[in-house]
Amino acid sequence: MLSSSSSNLAVASEMNMVLYLQETLSGVDATIQTVAGVNGTSSGLLAFGTVNVIDHVVTEGPLPSSKVLGRMQGFEARPDPKNTGFHMFSSIIFQTGKYNGSSLEIQGTNRFSLPQREVSVVGGTGRFRYAHGYALLDFLHKTGQTLSFKFNITFRQPIPTILHFKQYKRNVIKNKSIQTQLVTLVVEVSWKLWLSYNSCHYVTLLSSSIFPIYSW
């Protein structure tokens, strides 16, 4: 489920998406593997000092059988001897649909003791460049060896400045409809007239309402 809206700061577009993570603990389809620790790769998955590499499945729905959207890849380390959580560094990589090839960068502490965990969105690529925000992680259920989590992500992206407009226009024309191309052309002409009238070379947009690329 995806939605977007204008930010109260009037300089960014806000987006929310709900994804689901499927973490398989063991077996041929395991999505987590210990690579370092006090006892090397034989260290316990949850032991202090353990480092795990992850390749979790990202799905559209809460069940492991739901449509696959991509992967969550990266690593996590256990920095707390009291066994309260992992510190994670990972990328949500979209591998299908209109966000195919784009990614969101996630960082923060996944605290097992909390009913809802919160981590940071620290960046992105492709359609999510310059993304910054937060993600809420909720455990849902266990199916066999697979743990299912709800990942509710909210982030903002800055509105392009006029210096980035040419690249923005190329992306719009490549990815959007004829109607959107016409709107983009009107915006470009309006900008040029405004700049000519005011003899100004740099303008930062103060509203995202005229940018259809953020209305996904």
User: Domain-by-domain residue ranges, the chain?
Assistant: 2-158, 162-214
> Among residues of the chain, what percentage have pLDDT more than 70?
62
Average pLDDT over residues 184-213: 52
Residue 53: closest CA among 32, 28, 39: 32
Report pLDDT digits (tens) over 20-53: 999 998 888 899 887 876 666 666 666 677 788 9
Given this model, what pLDDT does residue 209 score?
39
Beta-bridged to residue 135, according to DSSP, are: 119, 153
Residue 96: closest CA among 117, 121, 74, 67: 67
Mean pLDDT of the chain: 77
Rounded to two decimals, the pTM is: 0.66
Looking at the chain, list the stretches that DSSP marks H as alpha helix, in order from N- to C-terminal side: 165-175, 178-198
Q: Does pLDDT of 204 surpass 70? A: no
CATH number assigned to the domain with residue range 2-158, chosen from the 4 options 2.40.480.10, 2.20.25.10, 3.90.1170.50, 2.40.50.140: 2.40.480.10
More confident residue, 1 or 143: 143
Q: Does pLDDT of 160 surpass 50? A: yes
pLDDT-derived band at 132, boundaries 50, 70, 90: very high
pLDDT-derived band at 77, boundaries 50, 70, 90: confident
Take residue 170 and report the two structure tokens written for it.
């190329």
Given this model, what pLDDT does residue 71 score?
97
Query: C-alpha 150: how far from its chain's center?
Result: 14
**CA distance linking residue 63 with residue 50, whole number of Å:** 28
